[in-house]
Amino acid sequence: MVSIFAFNVSLRRYIEDVTFSASGSSVSVATSSSKDLSLESGRDILLTPGSAKAIKLTGNVVSAFYTVGATNSGVSVPDGTTTCIITSGAGLSAAFALSFAGSSTVDGQLLFIRNDSTQDSTGIVVSQGAGALFVASSGSFKRIMSGS
């Protein structure tokens, strides 16, 4: 178990004007302005629920959004992307190869791909004008639904 004090001291080395406080089972963070928290490469923030087995997030949650223009040479969805919108790139005249880049998927990670280009994709098939939802399982993405 990490104490709030140790966590507070560690973060204060990197972020000015941050106050942590604990009350019962809650930890609050207060700042005088918006702050970004950047982690070293390869580090994760883990939120582990207690006996309720749920984590409630309020406000806006923003994830890795990627928009790309498809070309005849193909599209590779970058590692860590959760939403990918594919449009028609310059010179797109035929079906294009669609693939996933990298291998650092986390089981349960969701990836939504929308193909708004003028062509179908091959490899990972997402028809033009349609979308597909994938979930990571055992190191690869599995399609769980698709449609227009």
Domain that holds residue 11: 1-59
User: What pLDDT score does 13 carry?
Assistant: 44
In this predicted structure, what is the pLDDT of residue 6?
A: 40
Query: Based on the domain organization, do 143 and 82 belong to the same domain?
Result: yes
* Interatomic CA distance for residues 123 and 46, integer angstroms: 33
Per-residue pLDDT tens over the stretch 26-49: 666 666 666 665 666 666 666 666
Q: Do 128 and 69 have their domain in common?
A: yes
Do residues 55 and 69 share a domain?
no
First-to-last CA distance in the chain? 47
Please check whether residues 80 and 142 belong to one and the same domain: yes
43 and 71 belong to one structural domain: no
CA pair distance 64, 82, nearest whole angstrom: 5
Same domain for 70 and 54: no
Average pLDDT over residues 79-92: 91
For residues 43 and 20, state if they share a domain: yes
Q: Are 129 and 115 in contact (CB under 8 A)?
A: yes
Q: What is the pTM of this model?
A: 0.65
Pair (138, 117) in one structural domain: yes
Both 74 and 49 in one domain: the answer is no
The residue out of 17, 37, 59 marking a domain boundary is 59
pLDDT reading at 77 higher than 60: yes
Position 5 pLDDT exceeds 60: no
Percent of the chain at pLDDT above 90?
36
Number of domains in the chain: 2
